[in-house]
Structure 1
Amino acid sequence: KRHLGWVVTAEDLLANLESGDELVLDARANPRYVGVAPEPRPGMRSGHIPGSANVPFTDLLDANTGCFKPVAEIRERFVKAGVDHQSLVVSCGSGVTACVLALGLEIAGMLEPKLYDGSWSEWGSRDDLPIVTGD
């Protein structure tokens, strides 16, 4: 069952393109976000949701231990991505690694995001939804 306040749909994000009320954070690796790496799912378009910011989930983790980095470093990474006081939506390839961003935001004591669980597997497969490439 969906928690209506916590999960957003593609249609919600399409409306957000007009309003700009929410900042979408994309947890995928940068080459996938900018559209230069092929998507792992055949036939899927490459790129990202217009207006989204890229915060690869691995940026929040220590490469040696796999644990979250110190709180100050996590906060700094989110601020660099434009996280301020705006409502947030986290997204990724399939709705799983976006949850790493959500937990990172919680650890850093920042804003509680909503989850776009359809993520790129939905957005990138629908020709009726706009995409952009590059940073």
Structure 2
Amino acid sequence: MYENILHKPLVTRPDISLTASGILEELLEKDPKQRLGSNNDFEDIKHHPFFTCINWTELVEKKIPPPYDPHVDGPDDISNFDTEFTNAMVPDSVCISSDYSIVNASVEEADDAFVGFSYAPPSDDFFF
């Protein structure tokens, strides 16, 4: 996956609009200096043709109603997600279960989750 991200060209579906394809290509530009938003930050993105129909002032002032307003009971409510996704196993992941114990989907011990990473915390002597 990382090799594809770094080296292969973006392939978009043929049925999306040219402006949608254009913004995807510009946002995913491999050279960070050429990427959309690299010069004038969000202003570049706001002025892209893909967003010509958006009144940014009204959007910021929350005067534009959302196209869909789902019923949500709180920050942990996942009832609007298909169970195909919520019941799927998460590979290569460490997470917390409902009883707050560590559940590790890919390794036997949580410490083994980061084998191969080179970071080591500084020693206590570092701070003196």
The interval holding the TM-score normalised by the smaller chain is under 0.3
TM-score, normalised via structure 1 length: 0.20
Structure with the larger RCO, 1 or 2 (CA within 8 Å, 6+ apart): 1
Instruction: Please identify which structure carries the higher strand content.
Output: 1
TM-score, normalised via structure 2 length: 0.21
